[in-house]
Amino acid sequence: MNKKMAVVLALGLVGATARAQETIKIGLMAPLTGAWASEGQEMKRNVDLLAEQLNAKGGLLGKKVEVVTEDDGGDPRTASLAAQRLTTKGVVAVIGTYGSAVTEASQTIFDEAGIIQVANGSTAVRLTEKGLKNFLRTCPRDDEQGRVGAAVVEKSKAKKIAILHDNSAYSKGLADEINGILKGKNANVVFFDALTPKEQDYSAILTKLKAAGPEVVFFTGYYPEAGLLLKQKKQMGWNVPFIGGDAINNPDLVKIAGKEAAEGFQFLSPPVPKDLDTAEAKAYVVAYQKKFNEAPSSIYGVLAGDGFRVVAKAIEGAKSTKAEAVRAYLTGSLKAFPGFTGKIEFNAKGDRVGELYRVYKVARDGSFVMQP
């Protein structure tokens, strides 16, 4: 390297650091590796794109926004390291993360460091019940879904109801919630049992289900099992409506079940951007498609994007990056913010308020159609 080049390079570096000091740093903690890597990648895509758009419009408070991404590996230990690392990088807020236990491992670290954390996929009720002042989330809570699920079952006017779960904490919790509400209203729950996830043949449990003679079946598990259940139900020639929870919102459901068997299946989910008729959501889907050649597929990635947007909005609205000011704005001044997943508002605990869940139905061509 000659001397001239070295000088230019050194100047460049100095310039770069000088500019770096004037950015507002927002952290993203996501499972970029590990079992939930696909969710983590999607979260990063959404947040990166939104930061890019924000900077194109001039950034926040006259400064550029920089996204600092850390991998939590979908594991609490890695997450605590990722959180510690973020606290040393001068971030003002952190978006993420997905799993409830993983989020919990990072909660106190951010809280003690005075950094706002907006989780996007951690639905466990207890996370916001601890009274941590810096924690919020854009995803709904498990008990909210239970309430909506029970309402959907009631609306179907079925006299005999079956509830099927898969024994995972999420699935069993949701099933218990729905069962409790229905029992309280004297509904006739004729079947309440679990299947074993990751199996290939569910004809035994389906036969047992059929013997109980339900008029509607609520399955609270994940999409791979739901797909197989629908397929094998069709093969048995049993024509009973199935309803599912929000872990079923994945296009692979139709691939596993086949279009014919999946048709008419209903599930609960927060709305995805393509179903919202606000101009912003439409423009976002177009921009996302242009950049990544596909529509945003995971609702949790979009919820991370919404987390980023409310934080940006709060910093702008509060004209400050201080945690207390941002938190006060988010829980107090933010009203009916037009998110990509519906209107966003937070209560004093940091939970999102308002009706978030929609009912989706699988159409004849295998697409998911939001029900009015």
Partner 1 sequence: MNRRLLVGYLVAAVALILAPRFLDAYQVDVLNSVGLYVLLALSLNLILGDAGLFNMGQAAFYAVGAYTAAILNTRLGVPMLWAMPVSGLLAAIFAVIVARPVVHLRGDYLLVVTIGLGEIVRIALVNDVFGVTGGANGIFGIARPFLFGHKIRTPDEFLYLIWGFVAVTVFLFHRLEESRFGRALTFLREDAVAAEGSGIDTTRYRLMAFALGAAWAGMTGSIYAAKMTIISPESFSFWESVVVFLMVILGGSGSIPGVMVGAAIVVIMPEIFRDLATARMLVFGLVMMVMMVVRPQGLLPWRAPRFRAGDVPRDLPRPEAAP
Q: Give the Cα separation of 72 and 186 in Å (integer).
A: 44
What is the nearest approach in angstroms of partner 1 to the Cβ of residue 125? 10
Contacting partner 1 (CB under 8 A), which of 64, 133, 172, 361? Answer: 172
Confirm if 38 and 78 have CB atoms less than 8 A apart.
Answer: no
CB-based burial label for 136 (10 Å; 0-12, 13-18, 19+): buried
In the complex, least distance from residue 319 CB atom to partner 1, rounded to whole angstroms: 29
- Could you give the CA distance from residue 246 to residue 249 in angstroms, rounded to a whole number? 6
Residue 46 interacting with partner 1 (CB under 8 A): no
DSSP 103-168: HHHHHHHHHHHT-EEEESS---GGGGTT--TTEEESSPPHHHHHHHHHHHHHHTT-SEEEEEE-SS
Per CB under 8 A, does 100 bind partner 1?
A: yes
Tell me which residue has tokens 């606290």. 87
The single residue among 38, 53, 167, 235 that binds partner 1, judged by CB under 8 A, is 167
- Should residue 298 be labelled a site residue for partner 1 when binding is judged by CB under 8 A? no
Of 271, 277, 281, nearest in space to 357 by CA: 271
Check binding of 17 to partner 1 (CB under 8 A).
Answer: no
Answer yes or no whether residue 111 interacts with partner 1 by CB under 8 A.
no
Residues 54-73, mask of contacts with partner 1 (x by CB under 8 A): ---------------xxx--
Nearest approach, Cβ of 5 to partner 1 (angstroms)? 24
Of the candidates 33, 55, 297, 320, which one interacts with partner 1 according to CB under 8 A?
Answer: 33
CA-nearest of 186, 190, 163, 120 to 350 is 120
168 lines the binding site for partner 1 (CB under 8 A): yes
Q: Residues interacting with partner 1, by CB under 8 A?
A: 32-33, 35, 37, 41, 69-71, 74-77, 80-81, 84-85, 87-88, 99-101, 104-105, 108, 124, 126, 167-170, 172
